[in-house]
Amino acid sequence: MSKPLLLQGGRVVTMDGARRILDADVLVEDGYIKAVGRDRREGRAKTPAIDCTGLVVLPGLIQAHIHLCQTLFRGLADDLSLEDWLAQRIWPLEAAHTADSVHASAMLGAAELLLGGTTAILDMETVRHTGAAFEALESIGIRATAGKCLMDAPSSPAGLREPTDKALSESADLCARWHGAAGGRLRYCFAPRFAPSCTGPLLRAVSDLAEKTGAVIHTHAAETPVELELVKRETGHDEIAYLDSVGISGPRSALAHCVWVDKDGIARLARQATNVVHCPSSNLKLGSGVAPIPEMLAAGCRVGIGADGAPCNNRLDAFEEMRLAALIQKPRLGPDALPAPQALELATLGGARAMGLEAEIGSIEVGKRADLVVLDLAGPHAQPEDADLVSRIVYSARAADVRHVIVDGRIVVRDGMMKTADVAEIRTNANKQARRLRRAIA
């Protein structure tokens, strides 16, 4: 699958069970982590090596809620509420997408993600052209679980609404084509947009399909009080309970946001081992609120993190999300709430769990996939160097500190440069397609 590779001489933040931080080499073979320790060089004179002296080796960061199809909409929908943001901008723009623009949007987003140290994403595409996104993800080399967005409720916008059967059969076809592609690097997820956009029968069918195919379910939940009220009025249930009742719960489900969840909802999420995906920038920018993440962690919930789409952030930067996740809880719960080690866990092991990949990624341990990030923290902004390393990563480091990125044992970013795609070409295509989309909704 890929040549052997030695990451030599770095300081390795393993995120293993003991959360060890080691001065160690990391040996990669066939896309897997083969060894973590000292003197791996011995007898391996021919193994190509990356000199990591003075650098930090991290598990690849994981963002478990991304909309790559929205990357082209960045800066086109600022300072609006979720409901206006969706109805006035995002839905019309998504409806105007072509296969070319979906491809360009995925390439732009994936380039930003990889250059910033995010090696794996759980992605929700739009209703059409999801195959074009997969083609982009296949070529650029990021680990991705992506799904076609499902919207079949009568109240959904006409430009995106589909008949239930069509939505489901196209999903099943995409799953058959892409789930496990690229040596398992690509996977499919079933992606109902959110409860108000979907009928009960669709949600139940999604739950069955996910069970049958071993794919995960990726949706939004409890983002705003308006959404909660809508679901309550239509179903008579709290949203988290309603989703549970139609089978959207458990370790195979990832619910983005969960800002407006009460004690009962938190208990239910914990009991079912449903994954919550925290999106701090997005929740602030759309005015949604601050999700009760420390309460969820205390209750035993599984929590990942994500930047959401570019227009509600406007970055796709895991460092930004980690830092904000730690900062925004403190005015409410005190300065020791969500300390740096917890923030780093959200972006590594938490994301791996949300993607159903905790046995494969999220830590640097022998037998896991070789998804690795090498950070250079020599900049003035990350000094002094003897301070706690996890604090330096969460509070001081930034996407621009990423030097090398490896996914499945393949070097996708080296010395801060994209190796699997031409960034100038990505930019040109993105701008051409973004102009066309803007004209289409003008």
Binding site for a copy of itself (CB under 8 A): 71-72, 74-76, 78-82, 85, 108-109, 111-112, 115-116, 281, 283-290, 313-317, 324, 326-328, 330-331, 333-337, 339-340, 378-381, 383-388, 391-392, 395-396, 398-400, 423, 426-427, 430-431, 434-435, 438
Q: Would you say 275 or 281 has its CB closer to a copy of itself?
A: 281
Peptide bond into 251 cis (omega under 30): no
Nearest one of 363, 370, 437 to 17, comparing CA atoms: 363
CB of 79 to a copy of itself, least distance (A): 5
Nearer to a copy of itself, 77 or 243 (CB): 77
Query: 263 or 332, CB closer to a copy of itself?
Result: 332
Separation of CA 65 from chain center = 4
CB of 39 to a copy of itself, least distance (A): 27
Task: Output the smallest distance, CB 292 to a copy of itself, in A.
Answer: 13
Helix (H, G, I), strand (E, B) or coil at 442: coil
Could you tell me if 315 and 70 are in contact, meaning their C-beta atoms sit under 8 angstroms apart? no
| Shortest distance, position 398 Cβ to a copy of itself, whole Å | 7
H helices of 346-404, in order, are 351-354, 389-391
Least Å distance between CB 325 and a copy of itself? 11
Question: Which tokens hold the place of 307?
Answer: 């930047």
Tell me the CA end-to-end span of the chain in Å, nearest whole number: 46
**Of residues 132 and 426, the one with the C-beta less far from a copy of itself:** 426
Tell me, what amino acid is at 123? Answer: D
C-alpha span between 389 and 341 (Å, rounded): 10
3-state secondary structure of 111: helix
Please report how close the Cβ of residue 440 comes to a copy of itself at its closest, in angstroms: 14
Query: Residue 199 CB, nearest distance to a copy of itself (Å)?
Result: 29
Residue 164 vs 396, nearer CB to a copy of itself: 396
Q: How far is the CB of 132 from a copy of itself (least distance, A)?
A: 18
Count, residues in the chain: 442
In the bound state with a copy of itself, the residue whose beta carbon lies nearer, of 85 and 91, is 85
Report the distance separating Cα 360 and Cα 182, nearest Å.
15
Per the CB < 8 A criterion, the answer to whether 325 and 304 are in contact is no
Looking at the Cβ atoms of 46 and 439, the one nearer to a copy of itself is 439
Q: How far is CA 213 from CA 34, 176, 179, in A?
A: 30, 9, 9
3-state helix, strand, coil in the chain (%, to 5): 45, 20, 35
> What does the angle CA 164 – CA 169 – CA 172 come to, to the nearest 5 degrees?
130
Q: Which is nearer to a copy of itself, 353 or 392 (CB)?
A: 392
